[in-house]
């Protein structure tokens, strides 16, 4: 039920914690995209299962969890109050940019698409991923800018106020933040095929830089003395809750603290990925050394000595997965 005060306010009633679960609105674009993406993902998993290939359940859970969170952030009480409270929008922005894309990337949807596709389509997909534009987009400096710049642009350009006053701009915000976050987490996690692999330590260093940027934005919003979308919030004439200035202070703190906290799962996923990848490469190197040794033994005449490989070009300089690390 909406309240209409004598002041002219026509928004939802005073916010309560229960609204996170009991208040709902419809965001048709996000709902449609979530249903299509979730259905397509489950169809791919089913196709692999029929072919006898097992897909990791944790990946499925991560992807579907990301879609569910996307829906909740736009259709639950957060979506109801996103254009009423600065703090509500700040929490939504952080989670749409940093948590929803992380969960979607952990689901490895591109890998699923490749594995569930016929060989000809697989080649086309991989060719696109290895193309020049793809490599530029996934270059660390570019993908990092796509994550760090949007919050600053949102709050210090007309983008923010347009997202409050226009339904189309609001939907665009819901979509663009998730896409920009995906452009960062996809090449950093490297669970899906990428144009070029970079050391995971790069992702860790970037995460620390992102923490500084989050803190900087929060500090500016808290202590900068400039009210974002001041005319919009004053025109609401909301008769309940914090003043626009206090609301922005709370929102700045949310951007600062929450932005740092939600980075921890990414760091954990990155460290785990580094450990798993290190084990896989060690096993591959050991298997290759064993194979070469056995081949050398088989080629040695009875009673002879195995030919020394000293002076030979190391095989890992020609391995497509390892040569870029050793200058091959």
Q: What pLDDT score was predicted for residue 1?
A: 40
Distance from CA of residue 145 to its chain's centroid? 14
Tell me the pLDDT band of 24, cut-offs 50, 70 and 90. Answer: very high
Report yes or no on 196 lying in a domain: yes
**Cα-Cα-Cα-Cα dihedral sign, residues 135, 136, 141, 142:** negative
> What average pLDDT does the segment 20-48 reach?
96
Answer yes or no: is 302 within a domain. Answer: no
**Gap between the terminal Cα atoms of the chain:** 67
Integer Cα distance of 69 and 45 in angstroms: 21
Q: How confident is the model at residue 225 (pLDDT cuts 50, 70, 90)?
A: confident
Residue 85 covered by a domain: yes
% of the chain with per-residue pLDDT over 90: 50
Evaluate whether 68 touches 112 at the Cβ level (below 8 Å).
no
Q: Which of 146-150, 164-168, 199-203, 259-263 has the lowest mean pLDDT?
A: 199-203
Q: Which residue has the higher pLDDT, 33 or 208?
A: 33
How would you write 196-229 as a 3-class SS string?
CCCCHHHHHHHHHHHHHHHHHHHHHHHHCCCCCC
Predicted confidence band of residue 301 (pLDDT cuts 50, 70, 90): low
Q: Residue 284 and residue 25: Cα distance in Å, rounded?
A: 51
Among candidate residues 116, 101, 239, the one with its CA nearest the CA of residue 176: 101
Average the pLDDT over 166-180 and give the result.
Answer: 96
- Confidence category of residue 305, pLDDT binned at 50, 70, 90: low
pLDDT in the model for residue 319: 60
Q: Pick from 230, 186, 163: which is nearest to 27 by CA?
A: 163
Distance (Å, whole) CA 294 – CA 306: 10
**Range with lowest mean pLDDT among 82-96, 155-169, 254-268, 277-291:** 277-291
Tokens 């995906």 belong to which residue?
Answer: 182
**Residue at 292 is within a domain:** no
Span 54-71, mean pLDDT?
Answer: 96
Distance CA(170)–CA(238), nearest Å, equals 20
What local confidence, expressed as pLDDT, does residue 143 receive? Answer: 80
- Does position 39 have pLDDT exceeding 90, yes or no? yes
Within-domain flag for 1:
no
320 within some domain: no
24 domain-assigned: yes
Which is higher by pLDDT, 107 or 268?
107
Q: What is the CA radius of gyration of the chain?
A: 25
Question: For residue 294, is it within any domain?
Answer: no
pLDDT at 109 > cutoff 50: yes
Decide: helix, strand or coil at residue 150. helix
Cα–Cα distances (Å) from 120 to 41, 47, 102, 114, in that order, read 20, 17, 29, 10
What pLDDT is attached to residue 189?
A: 80
* Domains identified in the chain, total number: 1
Q: Is the pLDDT at 315 greater than 70, yes or no? A: no
Between 65 and 270, residue with greater pLDDT: 65
State pTM to two decimals: 0.80
The predicted pLDDT at position 36 comes to: 97
**DSSP symbols for 60-125:** HHHHHHHHHHHHHHHHSHHHHSTTT-HHHHHHHHHHHHHTHHHHHHHT-HHHHHHHHS-HHHHHHH
5 pLDDT exceeds 60?
no
Question: How far apart are the C-alpha atoms of 35 and 68, rounded to whole Å?
Answer: 10
pLDDT tens for each residue of 235-284: 999 999 999 999 999 999 999 999 888 877 777 777 777 777 667 677 67
Domain residues for the domain of 196 are: 19-283
pLDDT score for 191: 79
**Region 153-181: what's the mean pLDDT?**
96
């Amino acid at each position: 039920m909406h309240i209409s005060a004598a002041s002219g306010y026509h928004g939802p009633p005073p916010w309560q914690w229960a609204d996170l679960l009991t208040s709902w609105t419809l965001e048709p674009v996000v709902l449609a995209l979530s249903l299509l993406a979730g259905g397509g993902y489950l169809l791919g998993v089913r196709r692999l299962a029929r072919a006898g290939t097992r897909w990791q359940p944790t990946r499925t859970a991560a992807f579907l969890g990301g879609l569910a969170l996307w829906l909740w952030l736009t259709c639950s009480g957060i979506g109801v109050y996103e254009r009423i409270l600065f703090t509500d929008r700040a929490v939504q922005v952080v989670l749409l940019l940093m948590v929803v894309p992380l969960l979607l990337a952990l689901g490895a949807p591109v890998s699923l698409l490749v594995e569930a596709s016929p060989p000809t389509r697989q080649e086309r997909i991989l060719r696109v991923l290895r193309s020049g534009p793809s490599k530029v987009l996934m270059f660390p400096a570019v993908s990092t800018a796509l994550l760090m710049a949007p919050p600053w642009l949102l709050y210090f350009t007309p983008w923010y106020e347009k997202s409050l006053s226009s339904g189309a701009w609001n939907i665009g915000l819901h979509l663009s933040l998730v896409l920009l976050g995906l452009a960062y987490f996809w090449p950093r996690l490297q669970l899906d095929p990428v144009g070029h692999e970079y050391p995971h330590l790069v992702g860790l260093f970037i995460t620390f830089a992102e923490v500084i940027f989050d803190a900087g934005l929060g500090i500016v919003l808290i202590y900068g003395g400039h009210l974002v979308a001041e005319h919009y919030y004053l025109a609401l004439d909301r008769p309940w809750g914090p003043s626009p200035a206090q609301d922005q202070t709370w929102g700045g703190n949310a951007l600062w603290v929450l932005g740092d906290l939600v980075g921890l799962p990414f760091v954990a996923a990155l460290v785990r990925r580094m450990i798993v990848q290190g084990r896989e490469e060690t096993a591959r190197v050991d298997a290759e050394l064993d194979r070469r040794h056995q081949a050398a033994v088989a080629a040695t005449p009875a009673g002879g000595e195995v030919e020394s490989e000293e002076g030979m070009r190391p095989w890992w300089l020609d391995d497509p997965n390892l040569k870029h690390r050793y200058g091959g």
